Amino acid sequence: MEKLGFCNFKHSKIYNSCMREGEKLLEGKTIIVTGGGGGIGSEISIYIAKLGAKVVVNDPGTDIEGKGRNPAVADAVVEKIREFGGQAVPNYDTITIEEGAKKIVETALENFGTVDGLVNCAGNIKDNFTLDMSYNDFKQVIKVNLTGAFLIGKECLKVMVEQGKGGSIINMTSVAGILGNWGQCNFAAAKAGLIGLTKTWAVEFAKYGIRANLIAPTARTRITKNLPISRQYEENEDRFSPKHVSPVVAFLLSDLSKEINGSIIAVYGTKLFTYHIVTNEGVSKKTMWTPFEIKEKIREIFEII
């Protein structure tokens, strides 16, 4: 039997056996899941509740561009959790303003008395070629994906430090933020910014026993359905189901991952790997470089052995 967090979900029997194996893995922990009403967020909310977590399902119920509000989105996930005896409460506030972030944390404290983990799944997209993208569309994507993560993260970190018992924060980055993607300069900038934000938290809060990590998921969701790669997701529906992200989240929230901090775990369907920033040996000289010398040594400067 493969350990929880690294299960192969090709068959539902394996999925269920993995759930039984880690049945009490998150018992006693209160976890806030932003964007918890749909896609990856809803899968995570239900999965960690089955492992004993008390879940705050935060979702204002907006569309993929951040428009509209529908409380039924969060309510539906909470209802599913309560049906199997799990503990969950809904929250409809937005993470994009300080007051909203504070209210989300207050919901956790008022209902469960603690905050032990945060999973940031809230996100939006407004894709366009850079020259056709409006400043407002750029700002709105940064506001939800990066500023929102900062605001809710800051509120959770305050509580975790005061509690003095550690904690775990997980932010969702993207291959767009690591490698870039056509038509997504706003989304890529936000997701790249999340990497710097999360790695800084990993450094700043390690002394408090608080870990901060990232997941870079490749999954079939409403956000990806209009992307060119969506056909690949449809052809491999189970492999790219958002449910495959859930065990990695559970692993990072649990005490199994106490040694992991500031890392990026990629979930490409049923394949897991990590992204690293690497350096090579480089080329040195005793005097200042000239542009022509750089050109001559460019292969050695860029070479990765």
Q: How far is CA 250 from CA 27, 205, 230, 283, in A?
A: 11, 20, 26, 43
Spell out the residues 6+ positions from residue 114 whose beta carbon is closer than 8 angstroms to its own: 30, 108, 159, 163
pLDDT at residue 20 in the model: 56
User: What is the residue-averaged pLDDT of the chain?
Assistant: 90
pLDDT at residue 232 in the model: 52
- Please write the tens of the pLDDT for every residue from 43-97: 999 999 999 999 999 999 988 777 789 999 999 999 999 999 999 999 999 999 9
**pLDDT class for 12, splitting at 50, 70, 90?**
very low
| Angle ∠(132,136,142) on CA atoms, nearest 5 | 105
Q: How far apart are CA 159 and CA 155, in angstroms?
A: 7
Length of the chain: 305
Bridge partners for 285 per DSSP: none
Residue 97, classified by CB atoms within 10 Å of its CB into exposed (0-12), middle (13-18) or buried (19+), is: middle
Q: How far apart are CA 69 and CA 262, in angstroms?
A: 33
Q: How far apart are CA 24 and CA 96, in angstroms?
A: 33
Q: Which domains does the chain have, with CATH numbers?
A: 12-278 (3.40.50.720)
Most confident by average pLDDT, 15-29, 177-191, 219-233? 177-191
| Among 13-17, 162-166, 197-201, 256-260, the least confident range | 13-17
- Please write the tens of the pLDDT for every residue from 248-288: 999 999 999 999 999 999 999 899 999 998 899 999 999 99
Once rounded to an integer, what is the mean pLDDT over residues 160-188?
97
- How many other CB atoms are found less than 10 A from the CB of residue 281? 10
- Please write the tens of the pLDDT for every residue from 117-133: 999 999 999 999 999 99
Q: How far apart are CA 107 and CA 123, in angstroms?
A: 21
pLDDT at residue 146 in the model: 99
